[in-house]
């Protein structure tokens, strides 16, 4: 079975009454090159547990199952459940869960009559549905406990570039992701690599959690949310008049805009007594 062949995807869709459309933000990978890039970047071992979101027809799921110890695939669209039974049913290490990943904590994933908890240092490897990208990134890197050890994601190229941004193009998403871990844009993925093809380019992003938690992360994110609420305004005006002295003590020009601040400057600003 080669699910990178458009003919096989179309045949499966026809057999199960699935209409392939862009309206749901579902774009299915049909290019073996990006598929291998994603799987290789995950650096999977037989001791690893992988969370996949939106497995769809199971193209990536099959590759993950061949490399990892266990794959937990969460699919919201119930039309794909019988498809996955057909395409990945041969793998005893794959667990399919029907549900909304944005509503499911990692410690309480429903699994028929029981619940399943992801172990510490699990990995997330997914071709993310475009519609949940931002919410999913915040959930997994700012809220989940335990958090993933690494994420390998296919998502919109624009989002990937925002995640990996540096001054003077910093943004709130970049601050959140880069205080969580190291961020690397692995490669771009053209629209023709998907069925149906999206209207924009995609990218593969690798995020590896910092071994040592980023100091003052919560304080940094609180300040950054305020600072980026009006990204074109000067940072002193956005944070409030009372912060001008703190900015100067942190070595930051009060006339700077938030996108010009580095992570170290946000850290300095968040220090008690700054």
The pLDDT of 211-237, averaged and rounded, is 90
Residues 120-172 pLDDT 10s: 899 999 999 888 999 999 999 999 988 999 999 999 999 999 999 999 999 99
**2 labeled part of a ligand binding site:** no
Distance CA 153, CA 53 (A): 10
Residues 10-55 pLDDT 10s: 999 999 999 887 666 789 999 999 999 999 999 999 999 999 999 9
Omega of the bond prior to 132 within 30 degrees of 0, cis? Answer: no
List the domain boundaries for the chain: 6-209, 217-270
Q: Which is it for strands 181-189 and 202-209: parallel, antiparallel or unpaired?
A: antiparallel
**29 labeled part of a ligand binding site:** yes
The pLDDT of 101-128, averaged and rounded, is 85
Hey, how many other C-beta atoms are within 10 angstroms of the C-beta on 260? 15
**27 labeled part of a ligand binding site:** yes
The topology (CATH level 3) of 217-270 is: Helicase, Ruva Protein; domain 3 (1.10.8)
Say what the pLDDT of residue 53 is: 96
The topology (CATH level 3) of 6-209 is: Rossmann fold (3.40.50)
Distance CA 58, CA 67 (A): 14
């Amino acid at each position: 079975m080669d699910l990178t062949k458009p003919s096989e995807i179309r045949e499966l869709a026809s057999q199960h009454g699935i209409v392939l459309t862009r309206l749901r933000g579902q774009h299915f990978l049909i290019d073996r090159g990006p598929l291998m890039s994603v799987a290789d970047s995950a650096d999977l071992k037989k001791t690893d547990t992988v969370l996949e979101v939106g497995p769809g027809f199971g193209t990536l799921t099959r590759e993950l199952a061949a490399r990892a110890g266990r794959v937990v695939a969460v699919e919201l669209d119930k039309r794909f459940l019988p498809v996955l039974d057909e395409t990945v049913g041969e793998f005893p290490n794959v667990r399919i869960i029907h549900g909304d990943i944005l509503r499911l904590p990692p410690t309480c994933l429903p699994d028929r009559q029981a619940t399943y908890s992801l172990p510490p240092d699990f990995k997330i490897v997914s071709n993310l549905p475009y519609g949940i990208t931002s919410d999913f990134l915040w959930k997994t890197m700012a809220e989940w406990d335990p958090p993933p050890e690494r994420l390998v994601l296919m998502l919109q190229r624009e989002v990937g570039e925002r995640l990996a941004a540096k001054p003077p193009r910093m943004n709130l998403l970049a601050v959140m992701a880069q205080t969580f871990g190291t961020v690397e844009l692995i490669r771009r993925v053209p629209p023709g690599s998907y069925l149906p093809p999206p209207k924009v380019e995609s990218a593969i992003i690798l995020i590896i959690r910092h071994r040592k938690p980023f100091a003052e992360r919560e304080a940094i994110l609180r300040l950054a949310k305020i600072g980026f609420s009006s990204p074109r305004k000067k940072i002193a005006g956005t944070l409030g008049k009372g912060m001008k002295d703190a900015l100067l003590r942190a070595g930051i020009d009060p006339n700077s805009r938030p996108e010009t601040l580095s992570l170290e400057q946000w850290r300095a600003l968040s220090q008690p007594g700054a």
